[in-house]
């Protein structure tokens, strides 16, 4: 038996408003757990919506480089 994937349906799911809201909420929780100077961001890519957490200040960048703050905060997004 051969499975034929419906790629358009996958793309629709990845761009659904509920998924976008969930991604944004998760990024927000991670940024909040990381502390001041970390900001959530999101954008719609070619096939899906993406969320990220960035260092918005030099202090946050140095803190993340030394302590891996964003990585240690990922559990807050679960």
Domain count for the chain: 1
Residue 2 lies in a domain: no
> Whole-angstrom Cα distance, residue 52 to residue 64?
14
Range of the domain at 26: 7-77
pLDDT level of residue 6 (50, 70, 90 thresholds): very high
CA–CA separation, 51 vs 46, rounded Å? Answer: 14
Whether the Cβ atoms of residue 13 and residue 30 lie closer than 8 Å to each other: no
Q: Is residue 1 part of a domain?
A: no
The pLDDT of residue 67 is 98
In a domain, 50, yes or no: yes
Residue 45 lies in a domain: yes
What is the per-residue pLDDT for 47?
Answer: 87
Of the pLDDT bands very low, low, confident and very high (cuts 50, 70, 90), residue 74 is: very high
Q: How confident is the model at residue 27 (pLDDT cuts 50, 70, 90)?
A: very high
Query: Taking 90 as the threshold, does the pLDDT of residue 41 lie above it?
Result: yes
pTM for the predicted model, two decimal places: 0.88
């Amino acid at each position: 038996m051969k499975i034929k994937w419906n790629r358009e349906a996958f793309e629709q799911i990845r761009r659904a408003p509920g998924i976008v809201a969930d991604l944004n909420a998760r990024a927000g929780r991670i940024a909040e757990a990381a502390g001041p100077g970390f900001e959530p961001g999101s954008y719609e890519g070619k096939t899906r919506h993406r969320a990220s957490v960035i260092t918005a200040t030099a202090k946050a960048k140095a803190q993340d480089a030394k302590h891996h703050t964003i990585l240690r905060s990922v559990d807050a997004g679960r």
